Structure 1
Amino acid sequence: MKKEKTLGVRMDPQMRRELEVISKVLHVPESTWAREKLTHDIQETIEDLKYQIVLEYMKGTISREELDRVFGDLAEDVDFVIEKTKEDFIKAKELAKKLE
């Protein structure tokens, strides 16, 4: 069972009034609409940032656990591509030295 975590959000009065209007127009509770919108925007942002997430993982600023959360089973593929890229880079450097 997933544990849910509560996130408090402060918003200015104008945004709060706008949220009330959206809620009335869509006939959904404010919290439901805000949660669904936030979920959608986070997922969209993750898709946009996947390349940067991999780069940060390579630098060590993102852990394997965090990578797993974003990529799931594909995290293994990310590790494979990183390892092959390193091997190919080493081979290219060795070849460049031989050609000098």
Structure 2
Amino acid sequence: MSDPSPPPITLYSTEVCPYCVAAKNFLKSKSLSWNEVRVDTNPAAREKMVALTRRTSVPQIFIGDVHVGGYDDMMALHRAGKLEPLLQGEGA
């Protein structure tokens, strides 16, 4: 059985958001790549983010189809040992 490919990471962000920078630095420290969606320059992307998450704050982070939440949510998952399985495509 081959390993599943890791799910894509999507990060909804703005240019001047300190939590967005922190989230990107954390992902970078784990040698992960992500698809960044800027909601400050793209109103349609902001509408999509709010529709998907029911939140207006950034960052909003998705791993595959799983909405992780913001930076603090991602760090809480990481501390609980639940982020790694998600990153490896093992589901929530």
Q: Which TM-score band (shorter chain)?
A: under 0.3
Choose between structure 1 and 2: higher strand proportion: 2
Structure with the higher helix share, 1 or 2: 1
Higher relative contact order (CA 8 A, sep 6+): 2
TM-score for both structures, normalised by structure 1 = 0.24
